[in-house]
A and B are shown apart, each in its own frame.
Chain A
Amino acid sequence: MRHPDNYTVEPPRLADKLLEWLLAPHLLETILGDLHEDFAYNVKHVGARKARWRYWHQVLGFIKPEYIKRGQTPYPSTPLILPGMIRNTIKIAFRGLLRHKLYSFINVGGLGLSLFCCLLIGFWVRDELSYDKFHRDPDRIYRIVKDFVTSDGSRTPDATTPSALAAALRKDLPEIESVTRIYPNWNQKFLIRQTDMQFYEEGVYRVDSSFFDVFTFPFVSGNKQSAFQTPKSVVLTETMARKYFGSENPVGKRLNLRIDGGDFTVTGVLKDVPGNSHFHFDFLIPLRRVDVNPDTDWTSHTFYTYAKLKPNTRAARFTDKLRLLVRKYQPENLNIFYVQALTDIHLNSKLKWELGQNSDRSYVQILSFIGLFILIIAGINYVNLATARSSQRAREVGVRKVAGAFRRSLIVQFLGESMVVSVLSGMLAIGLVVVLLPFFGGLVGKDLTIWNRPGLQTCLTALGAAMILGLLAGIYPALFLSSFKPALVLKSQKIPGTRFSWLRQGLVTFQICASVLLMIGTIVVSRQIKFLRTTPLGFDKEQIITLPNVGGLSNLDALRSELLGLRQVVKVGAASGVFGASNWSNGMTKKGSDRAVVVNFMVVDNDFLQTLDVRVRQGRLFSARFPSDSTASLLINETAARQLNLNNPLGAIVDLDQMGDYRTVVGVVKDFHFTSLHNSIKPFAFVVGRQNLSNLFIKVRGTDMKEALAEIEKKWNELVPQRPFTYFFLDENFAALHRSDELFQRVVSGLTVLALCIAGLGLFALASFTTERRTKEIGVRKVLGASASGIVRLLLGQFLKLVLTAIVIACPVAWYIMNYWLQNFAYKIEMKLWMFLLAGLITMLIALLTVGFQSFKAAWVNPVKSLRSE
């Protein structure tokens, strides 16, 4: 041979790589072969260097579409989705589920439970977001509100407006399509009479006739044109129509409202106000005032103004014009007016004098986050279990591949399985919701149903979400399981995925992290709610029965003395308002100063403060011994003294209404919480009076409330037969202020427990799979002399490491989030170290219980058993 090294000369690697990458597989072999043969020939005849050069030349000639385009395979192609295969996949999936009951239970149950939680949250969130959207063109409706500004510049956001504003708006601003005023009952109770029945009603609103132009409340009978044609018209809701008129059509009938001269004519019946409206009424009567013309009165801020703007009106521009308008009519007015979108009121508005208790956006956000967390936790369970189970599936994958399955079809199979699991759990969740939604609705005080369009939509969305979740959770296991090499898994004992992969570790850590986060959240929320419940308010609200309808009673004194004569009654007092529910407020000034401070106040009798045990700090309480108290004395709280700038409050003279109603401060009472603990304590004052005493507070002794109530009712019926007996307990009334907080606490704790269960189940199953796969290892270790405790330590160690990491990560995040939530409260707890420690400890305990159980079981198995199985 002339060139003994001709075989050792290789054609350029890079060129081959290029072709292998580019060329169609069915052409590659012959072309590369030909090229190599030519190269060998060239090496022989022209030398290696030139041969290489020619090789490249030849190779580049093949870079053409006709060689790159993939040809048809000689085998019949299998479509990815084939009815028969799908049926087979579903069948195999069900068989798998039935064979591994624990696994299926944890997967379907966990996923179903989490979807159930998410569905409930979804229903709730959807309802919260739907507030006031049922009106026509809700995005064009605005409420006009103001910042109440006093002469010292302090601002109080306030929902009320003077009645003249609406008239001025209608007259002067072309942007207004329609505008209406609402004058709510302001805690007045209306005694409504019908033949042989009478009830106290609170939901009586006085409105303009344009009310129905702004809002959309459909009529059952009557229409908006004829609704308020006379000043004695009343429109009521379906429920009220049934209550007072039974099944008859009430239109045209008379109804006695005991105001404005009694008899009203029913002109229309409305469908009940939907639950997702920020205000609720039962009766509507025309707005009119006896004393002044409402269209010119700028002084009394007791009206709500709602306006529907013409299309394409920008709210900001409108606000500017609104302020100019107020300036024009009221140059002295310091108040700053602005508008709120109607649909924003429920979640974003926290003004003084709201028409009802609004919710908070943070609740929606926090609950949505929790829902997402729970879904992720269940999804992680699926991924973890599916991959941890790989040893069981490996043989199946191997056999399928040997029998000719492509990777593609295996991926479809595994995705199909996860879809089966997710659809099953979706159906489980929907089934649970169908059964439990009414209870949940009752718990959160909402009327929720799935049997309407939004309800069914929510369910369908959940099913869709379940399928997407199934797909997402299925992708990794599908890719992982289908990647097994048949020769490897069928021949050797080495099964991929045996080790605790970083991905699974990460997922477990995240899961535990989320659980710890939820737990710390629950602890903080619960402590805060407990704090709200147990913080001394500064007065005694226990064992006080309140009779709210004594206003204008001529024999109030007789009633009072009769009640005092009862054995159970300790003390009786009367006041114009109720702590936690209503009181008046006025701009008051120190005599000689023109700096007005908004002070809440109540008209009380001499005994009220003793009845509620409001403590005095300086001076004295009101007393019958000082007859001048009823005309010239004033009691204030500490905050009022501070804000009115009274260094020496006793004897100071305060102007109650900035119009010359001067009274002398005779005492300072200790600060007390007269409203929810969301708000800081505001200035408060008491004056003595006989007018306007509309609530009677009865302090009773003993524990038998029922008996006391019966006695009181008896006396009432004797003395006030013309009015029905109504009462409430002051402490319950006060607790209602924190009802939405307590609700939130209950919902969050419930969800947390569920999330913990789901995560715990997942951890349990994961531990059982990993220890099961290490059976042989444990056997060998034991044979070689490892102790049982050592093995438990080994097995536990890997999980505990993750738990610790998760706790360390979760704590700061939890601190941040809960700090944000606590900002909602003026009076709040401190977050203490023990809360974090407790959450960590509970997590640790759950991990120990779930993983520990498995570890002990594995560590005590006789090695003979575990090693013989081969």
Chain B
Amino acid sequence: MNRTYLGEFEEIVLLSVAVMQGQAYGVVLMHEIIEQTGRSVKLNQVHSALQRLEEKGMVKSEVGGATAERGGRRKRLYTITASGQSTLQQIQEVRDSFWSKLTNLLKPGIGL
């Protein structure tokens, strides 16, 4: 297997980017993750995760959408790439396969 590995936090960020469908940028991602996971997340962590994901080719970004509360500064909007999606999928598959075994083990034995 020669796919890129993702850290746990990176995976969460990537998931949130995927969920937000092109409207993802630093500060809203932070709020989303705080909301979804209940952890305390700092903006710099989100930014560095996004940078790493971009370097790995999981997300791509473009600038745009300045607002008044940003002081006229533009956002960097992130969207998930195909490779990001397939990575997420693979992760999910690996987990599913483990989970399927685990559910078998945890099932109460049915005697034949």
Q: Identify the A interface with B (CB < 8 A).
A: 7, 27, 29-38, 40-41, 57-58, 61-62, 64, 66-67
Q: Which 4 A-B pairs have the closest CB atoms?
A: A33-B73, A61-B44, A40-B69, A34-B26
Mark out the residues of chain B between 49 and 91 whose CB falls within 8 Å of any chain A CB in the assembled complex. 51, 63, 66-71, 73-76
The answer to whether B43 touches A33 (Cβ under 8 A) is no
Q: Mark B19-50, 1 if CB is under 8 A from A, else 0.
A: 00000011100110000000000111101100
Taken together as a complex, chains A and B put the C-alpha atoms of A694 and B15 apart, in Å, by: 119
Residue of A34, A40, A64, A66 near B43 (CB, 8 A) is: A34
Residues in chain B near residue A36, CB distance under 8 A? 69-71, 73
Residues in chain B near residue A33, CB distance under 8 A? 66, 70-71, 73-75
The answer to whether B44 touches A30 (Cβ under 8 A) is no
The interface centre, meaning the residue of A36, A37, A41, A67 with most chain B CB atoms within 10 A of its CB, is A37
Residues in chain B near residue A34, CB distance under 8 A? 25-27, 43, 47, 70, 75
Shortest beta-carbon distance from B75 to chain A in Å: 6
The answer to whether A66 touches B48 (Cβ under 8 A) is yes
Known: A29-B63, A33-B74, A38-B27. 16 other contacts (CB 8 A): A29-B74, A30-B25, A30-B26, A31-B47, A32-B70, A32-B73, A34-B75, A35-B27, A36-B70, A37-B70, A38-B43, A61-B44, A62-B44, A64-B48, A66-B48, A67-B44
The answer to whether A37 touches B44 (Cβ under 8 A) is no
Residues in chain A near residue B74, CB distance under 8 A? 29-30, 33
Q: Which residue of B lies closest to A27 (CB)?
A: B47
Q: Say yes or no: A61-B43 contact (C-beta < 8 A), given A30-B25, A30-B63, A41-B31.
A: yes
Residues in chain B near residue A57, CB distance under 8 A? 42
Residues in chain B near residue A58, CB distance under 8 A? 42-44
Shortest beta-carbon distance from B106 to chain A in Å: 41
Shortest beta-carbon distance from A220 to chain B in Å: 79
Residues in chain B near residue A29, CB distance under 8 A? 63, 73-74
Can you list 27 A-B contacts with CB-CB less than 8 angstroms, sorted by A residue number? A7-B68, A29-B73, A30-B25, A30-B63, A30-B74, A30-B76, A31-B43, A32-B71, A33-B73, A33-B75, A34-B26, A34-B27, A34-B43, A35-B27, A36-B73, A37-B67, A37-B69, A38-B30, A41-B27, A41-B31, A58-B43, A61-B43, A62-B47, A64-B44, A64-B48, A66-B48, A67-B44
Residues in chain B near residue A41, CB distance under 8 A? 27, 31, 69
Shortest beta-carbon distance from A153 to chain B in Å: 88
Shortest beta-carbon distance from B47 to chain A in Å: 6
The answer to whether B75 touches A30 (Cβ under 8 A) is yes
Residues in chain A near residue B63, CB distance under 8 A? 29-30
Residues in chain A near residue B71, CB distance under 8 A? 32-33, 36
Shortest beta-carbon distance from B17 to chain A in Å: 15
Q: Which residue of A lies closest to B44 (CB)?
A: A61
Q: Which residue of A lies closest to B48 (CB)?
A: A66
Taken together as a complex, chains A and B put the C-alpha atoms of A36 and B67 apart, in Å, by: 10
Taken together as a complex, chains A and B put the C-alpha atoms of A698 and B66 apart, in Å, by: 109
Taken together as a complex, chains A and B put the C-alpha atoms of A31 and B73 apart, in Å, by: 9
Shortest beta-carbon distance from B36 to chain A in Å: 17
Q: Which residue of B lies closest to A40 (CB)?
A: B69
Taken together as a complex, chains A and B put the C-alpha atoms of A62 and B66 apart, in Å, by: 21
The answer to whether B43 touches A35 (Cβ under 8 A) is yes
Taken together as a complex, chains A and B put the C-alpha atoms of A34 and B28 apart, in Å, by: 8
Q: Which residue of A lies closest to B50 (CB)?
A: A30
Residues in chain B near residue A7, CB distance under 8 A? 68-69
Residues in chain B near residue A27, CB distance under 8 A? 47
Q: Say yes or no: A30-B73 contact (C-beta < 8 A), given A35-B43, A58-B42, A62-B44.
A: yes
Residues in chain A near residue B76, CB distance under 8 A? 30
Shortest beta-carbon distance from A41 to chain B in Å: 7
Residues in chain A near residue B30, CB distance under 8 A? 38
Taken together as a complex, chains A and B put the C-alpha atoms of A29 and B63 apart, in Å, by: 10
The interface centre, meaning the residue of B25, B42, B48, B73 with most chain A CB atoms within 10 A of its CB, is B73
Q: Which residue of A lies closest to B66 (CB)?
A: A33
Residues in chain A near residue B68, CB distance under 8 A? 7
Q: Which residue of A lies closest to B29 (CB)?
A: A34
Taken together as a complex, chains A and B put the C-alpha atoms of A67 and B75 apart, in Å, by: 17
Taken together as a complex, chains A and B put the C-alpha atoms of A57 and B42 apart, in Å, by: 9
